[in-house]
Amino acid sequence: MSKRSYSVEEKFEILKALEDNQYSTNEVASIYKVHHSSILEWKHKFDKYGTDGLKESSTWKRYSKELKLSAIRDYLSGKYSLREITRRYEISDLSVLRKWINKYNSHSELKDTSHGRTSSMTKGRKTTLDERKQIVYYCLENGKDYQKAAETYQVSYQQVYQWVKKHEDGGDEALRDKRGKNKVEAELSPEEKVKLEMRKLEKENERLRAENEFLKKLEEIERRRR
C-alpha cells in the first residue's frame, strides 16, 4: 500500500465506513488502500479530539526530554506496547517513539524538542585530567547517566560518553590527551603492556555480555507482546 496524505474528509469517510459496520478494519484498509494501523490511529484521535484530531499538524509538537525518557522506560519495562505508549504520552506517531528508542540504545543524547528543532546542545569544552576523572566518577556513580553528567559539568554528552569508554578500556591514564596517552604507553614495560591489553579485553567482554543481556531482554519483551 502506497503511503500518501489523506484529507480530513477522506479520513472521516473511511471512519464512517468502519463505524457503520459495513466492513471490518482490514476490509476498509484494503478498499481505501491505507494501512489498518493508520485507521486505528485516526479513530483514536477522532474519538478524543473530533475532526480536529484528523487534521495534519502544520507545526512540530513539543516534547520534553523527561517525557521522552519516561516513554522509553515504559517501553523497556515490557508493560506497554508502542501504540499504548504513543497514546499515553500523546506522541504524534509510532515512528517518533521508535526514533527516540533507537537514539537511546545508541547512547545518543535525548533533548527537549521545540518547533521541529532540538534545544541547543551543550558544546564541548577543554578540560583538565582531574576534571575528566571527576566527571567520569560522577557519571559511573549515577548509573552511567551521561546526560546528567554533561549538564552538571557543562560539557557535551559525547565528551562524557567517550571519557567513560576510555576509562573502562584503560583506567585513569586513558583520560589523558592524545599526546600524553601515547607517551605514557610508549614508556610501559612489556609486562605492563600485556596487563593493559588484558584489561581492555576484560572490559570488552563485559560490554559484550551487557549488550547480549540487553538484547535478550528486548526479545523477551517482544515475545510477551505477541
Give the model confidence (pLDDT) of 110-122 as tens digits: 887 754 444 445 5
70 vs 43, higher pLDDT: 70
CA 126 to CA 152: how far, in whole Å? 15
Q: Which of 15, 110, 7, 131 is nearest to 67 (CA)?
A: 110
Q: What are phi and psi of 74, to 5 degrees?
A: -65, -40
Residue 100 has pLDDT above 60, yes or no: yes
> Does 50 have pLDDT greater than 70?
yes
CA-to-CA distance for 112 and 69, rounded, in angstroms?
11
pLDDT the model gives residue 136: 92
End-to-end alpha carbon distance in the chain: 24
Nearest to 82 by CA among 63, 101, 64: 101
C-alpha cell at 33: 488502500
Q: What is the pLDDT of residues 59-98, one digit of tens each?
A: 446 788 889 999 999 988 888 888 889 888 888 777 788 8
Task: Enter the C-alpha cell of residue 91.
Answer: 506522541
What residues are paired with 113 via a beta bridge?
63, 118
Residue 11: burial class (beta carbons within 10 Å; 0-12, 13-18, 19+): buried
Contact call for residues 127 and 155 (beta carbons, < 8 A): yes
Task: List the one residue out of 120, 121, 119, 165 whose CA is nearest residue 139.
Answer: 165
Task: Please tell me what DSSP assigns to residue 117.
Answer: E
91: left (phi over 0), alpha (psi -120 to 50) or beta: beta
Residues 32, 42 contacting (CB under 8 angstroms): no
User: Which DSSP letter does residue 22 get?
Assistant: S
Q: Which residue has the cell 576523572?
A: 133
